[in-house]
Amino acid sequence: MTAITWHCLSFNDMTTRQLYEAMVLRQEVFVVEQECAFLDADSIDYSCMHLFGYVDKKLVAYSRLVPAGAVYEQCSIGRVVSAISERGKNIGRLLMQQSIDWIETNWGNQPIKIGAQQRLEAFYESFGFEVCSEPYMEDGILHVHMMRTASA
């Protein structure tokens, strides 16, 4: 697989093209593929860091790194998405590891809370997340809250 080039930017540092690419990727997967009608542009983006993964100038991976207090008391990783055309190449694993590493390097070693689709529980558990809620319905998909404690 070709190497992924990672960029992590604040909302104000993103170019219009980067914002557009992120919104297209998010909508392709969350709105079209998963058939969820929801307000993706939820104003939380303004306070977040945005992690972009490119292969040959094509956006193939994206996540939103949410500071503590913006959604949960803890920092969070959300809008975790990989391009449909790139599935099966471990890009999702690389994206999650990059997201965790960026948080630990830039925001310190701290707990991370996520709202995960329940079907992806084992994927997130492989990064040290543990279920900390009962399942709940969000946008027609079962979710669970999961927490990752600070690394030793």
14-52 pLDDT per residue, tens? 999 999 999 999 998 876 677 677 767 788 999 999 999
Q: What are phi and psi of 111, to 5 degrees?
A: -65, 150
d(CA 152, CA 1): 32
Domain map (residue ranges) of the chain = 5-108
Question: 80 pLDDT exceeds 80?
Answer: yes
> Structure pTM?
0.92
pLDDT in tens, 84-97: 888 889 999 999 99
Q: Regarding the domain delimited by 5-108, which CATH topology (the fold level of the hierarchy) does it fall under?
A: Aminopeptidase (3.40.630)
Mean pLDDT across the chain, nearest whole number? 91
d(CA 83, CA 92): 9
CA dist 118 → 2, 16, 89, 130 (Å):
30, 33, 22, 12
d(CA 148, CA 4): 25
